[in-house]
Structure 1
């Protein structure tokens, strides 16, 4: 087990832990939460042996193998697949030793050792390692082609995925993950969540994704007031326990305040009387020894609101046969070629729509968002924007485009040059940029603080259309919750790409999906999307497994692909009908229970007494309305059953 005993730790002059204890049992999956700067990464440093406690003991069995995600990725020529396999360092050592022995001249006396190495490699599953690594990389969003590309060819976010793959490839008893979902799309997060549920060792994960924590962990460790406080259950259970604890703490503070007042009153009245001196002294000692609870610090929760849009054209945007993609200029000939990512886009954005954009990694979600934001011009078709359209566009490059040598006040004054400085300061203060921070260069700011500034600049401009591409990256839980609440109350139109399922559920009411180069409505919820991802990946694996081994192989593979597509189309037709039938059955059950209750009440003779005419009239009206509603529900249920039979036929 992992055990912290009376651990204290300072970083510089800042105390992070003060005589704190914690026990984590083998096999537990632990979510580590706390405010930014509370010491989460430092706790990981203690577990990795990179930091040492100033006082107390922190450790786990020396036989445990530890895996964690490297923060740096060298620009190697090594392929992505080989780099992932390198995570199993023990296997690589066996392979290197075997290669060295086999390279020795004939007659060398190493046959026995070679045999031992072959046995050890078999025990380490060396003969399935490439297949296992391919499955990991596929789950994290890499294509077969990308797996053969050198590490140096990938961007920073993709290199972090490779580092995550290395950590998952490493056989381990303890797995430490620090914000593993930051560089992942929703499909990769869902895959990782399933992988971690099956992980047999002890997991400690830092994450600001509450849905991810709810799906993976069974223990929460909260860093608060320089202590490590353990809570059973997932993140939602922690929130409930924490709320109850805060209420209890407040009542204890109030009780202790009353007791202190009573003791002080006794001391004041009797400390000068000789007959009462001994009792007064004992009260003084009791008062000094009383463990005074720290006042409940309901730290000011960060919150903000999007300002009401000044106007709202309707429709805001109409796209007719638009191809979204890139124009590529050839360096030698300067000829321009085009690459369509999403083609034949025909849809309109109506005022007040709240849309979540789904699709696997690389499908073209960001390309579509950029085209709507007019950062990319359509390759074909017609895009018409409503008069008065004001777009607020948030993507990661918005954060990167901030001037690091300038202050938050400078950034806001640049887009609001005619507004009084005090008004700008007040506005930025609402985004947690107080005092000197508002005039300080943003270079040392955290990623979350820079993202918060980018959001503030968007809010100031009062957009009527918000385009958000992964807005929660680098945001802590508090700021994510504030953004979610603000978006839920936003009065304009919203189109969002996010891997944060809590945000999607709370702020959107319909989904579009980008798949196979097309944009189509997705009639279902996030659970349905999870099922869709599973079916899509299964169909892709089936198609990839049908490699042409003879002349007819290509035809067979095409047939398999067509069959998979037919299954997907059938499922897409069937799923919304099945969902509607399920909802109707729930409504019928509730209506039946309601009608039975009304029938029972109407069977009571007392309701027909002279003084109950109004109540009787209400009950009869409710009974008639309930019976009519139940009849309509049953008629629609029959219609949906017929529709389902038609689709399946």
Structure 2
């Protein structure tokens, strides 16, 4: 259950050791809740989830504490068994020498060798290098990294942990293309059972060999990758539609016979027989396609051209010293010279840390240029979508409340119709958003931006 909404109902699915499984379904279908069940954080109202008790499970932590610990050591912390053995060895070596201690120390050294303790640093460095960290960054404290880089460190921890079952929820979020390609190759070589939640079909096609689809509160297993699943489901929908049409014709024929002959004594027995056939006929449920989600951007009120012009701009941050309150300027992107024209579609590329988000924030007006001149067109209306927009939503309020706050003079029905175009229908439109999935909250944040009719749309990792 999610609140009062049942997510899964009387489902059965069997997964085999070594399967690489893609768990898919609409936003809010229950994918992350199913992971919560596997981790033991949630409990089923009925039924059981069963897997071997000796299996070691690894998953990505959702929170990253602001530690002074170096990034490399933090990643290695994912190998809990190794760290425990190291702590035990350090304790015994601090104790007075004795024959018993010597024996235990010898056993611990043997156990550390079995745990590959002597290669752990090189393995950690390989993981972090694949995820885009430089050797210098590996020695920096965890607290010095931004949220996206900390999520990479959490991913590295999960990959460092020896496991029989690995759970990854949207692992490609916050990764650039090089890191995604590296992760795909690493997961192909992973020897255990893997379950991935992802909306990246190319990534799923390259990694998984089984798809488990959550649909209508049921789980259905498909062999093959995501493209194979789409073919199989399309074929099943065609067959289901054909079976439904055939049953509809049969029902119509039986009902016609019954209505014509039930009053005739000579045909009464045949009519009764057909009535029983009709009563026993199990009504086939249609196999529905996923709910369509489409929306249109409202026409902007103004169309200045150019939208903005930047000349010799340096973008970055002003950092105030806590001791003497002096301000230090940290330049991230320098020498920016460009203009934005109405109707342009621009993709902003660069390795992580190159300054993409810094440039976007400068264009959005959240950061003032350190130097240079930025001129904004008269009537410029910016719609800025980034992760912090989702975090600023009020969890105790509804989608209708959020939209009503920025459109207080608009009729409620018009607001409901607009939210309906973003798949916020029925009771959902007036429900608290606290139990919404991450994807549903992101969709609401996007809806609020679209309502405001921007003439410049800035999207910072909109698919995360």
- Pair in the same fold by TM > 0.5: yes
Q: Which residue of 2 is the match for residue 266 of structure 1? A: 257
Q: How does 1:270-349 map to 2 (within 5 A)?
A: 270-271=261-262, 276=267, 279-298=270-289, 300-349=291-340
Task: State the partner residue of 1:201.
Answer: 192
Write the distance in 2 (CA, Å) between the matches of 1:50 and 1:441.
22
Which ranges of structure 1 fall in alignment gaps of 5 or more residues? 1-9, 474-649
1:18 is displaced (CA, Å) by: 4.3
From 48, 69, 89, the counterpart of 2:80 = 89
- Out of 234, 241, 250, the position equivalent to 1:243 is 234
Whole-angstrom CA distance in 1 between matches of 2:125 and 2:118: 13
Q: 1:33 to 1:111 in 2, by over 3 A?
A: same
Displacement of 1:338 after TM fit? 1.1
2:417 paired residue number: 426
Whole-Å separation in 2 of the counterparts to 1:441 and 1:14: 13
Distance 1:101 1:255, change over 3 A: same
Give distance in 2, aligned partners of 1:373 and 1:54.
47
In structure 2, what is the equivalent of residue 230 of structure 1? 221
Residue aligning to 1:375: 366
> Corresponding residue for 1:399?
390
Q: 2:99 corresponds to which residue?
A: 108
In structure 2, C-alpha distance between the alignment counterparts of 1:52 and 1:383, rounded to whole Å: 54
Which residue in the other structure is 1:181 paired with?
Answer: 172
- The answer for the alignment partner of 1:356 in structure 2 is 347
**Structure richer in helix, relative to its length:** 1
Check 1:49–1:276 CA distance in 2 against 1; reply closer, same or farther (3 A cut).
farther
Bigger shift: residues 394-403 or 67-76: 67-76
| Alignment of structure 1 residues 470-489 onto 2, 5 Å | 470-473=461-464
The 3 A distance-change label for structure 1 pair 329 and 456 is same
Deviates more, 1:324-333 or 1:358-367: 324-333
Q: Which structure is larger by alpha-carbon Rg, 1 or 2?
A: 1
Q: How many residues align?
A: 464
Q: Deviations over 1:222-247 (max 9, x none)?
A: 01233321223322332232223222
Secondary structure (helix, strand or coil) at the match of 1:357 reads coil
Deviations 1:214-268 (A, max 9, x none): 2322221101233321223322332232223222211211111111222233344
Shift of 1:178: 2.0
- Whole-angstrom distance in 2 between the partners of 1:194 and 1:324: 36
Q: Distance in 2 between matches of 1:400 and 1:113?
A: 50
Q: Distance in 2 between matches of 1:27 and 1:42?
A: 22
- Matched position secondary structure for 2:18: coil
**Higher RCO, 1 vs 2 (CA within 8 Å, ≥6 residues apart):** 2
Mean CA deviation greater in 369-378 or 152-161: 152-161
Give the match for residue 109 of structure 2: 118
1:135 maps to which of 126, 133, 148: 126
**Contact (CA 8 Å) 2:74, 2:142: kept in 1 or not?**
yes
Q: Could you report, residue by residue, the CA deviation over 1:16-74 in whole angstroms, capped at 9, with x for unpaired residues?
A: 44444323233221111123443323433443455666666543334432222234455
Quote the Cα distance in structure 2 between the aligned partners of 1:305 and 1:400.
24
**Secondary structure of 2:424's partner?**
coil
Which TM-score applies when normalising by structure 2?
A: 0.87
**Structure 2 gaps, min length 5:** none
Contact kept, 8 Å, 1:30 with 1:221, in 2: the verdict is yes
Q: 1:101 to 1:415 in 2, by over 3 A?
A: closer
- For 1:225 and 1:422, the matched residues in 2 are separated by 28
Number of the residue aligned with 1:257: 248
In the alignment, does 2:43 pair up with 1:28?
Answer: no
Distance 1:350 1:300, change over 3 A: same
Mapped to 1, the partners of 2:242 and 2:387 lie a distance apart of 44
Shift of the 402–47 alpha-carbon distance from structure 1 to 2, 3 Å rule, reads closer
Q: State the shift of 1:90 in Å.
A: 2.3
Q: What is the aligned partner in structure 2 of residue 553 from structure 1? A: none
What is the CA–CA distance in structure 2 between the aligned matches of 1:198 and 1:316, rounded to whole Å? 48
Distance 1:62 1:194 in 2: 29
Please state whether the residue corresponding to 1:165 is helix, strand or coil.
helix
Equivalent position of 2:452 in the other structure: 461
The question of whether the paired residues in 2 share the 8 Å contact of 1:187 and 1:361 is answered with: no
Note closer, same or farther for the CA distance 1:168–1:269 as it changes in structure 2 (3 Å cut). same
Q: TM-score, normalised by structure 1?
A: 0.64
Query: Alpha carbons of 1:412 and 1:97: their partners in 2 closer, same or farther (altered >3 Å)?
Result: closer
Question: 1:311-362: per-residue Cα shift (whole Å, max 9, x none)?
Answer: 5444333322211111222233333221110111122323332111111221
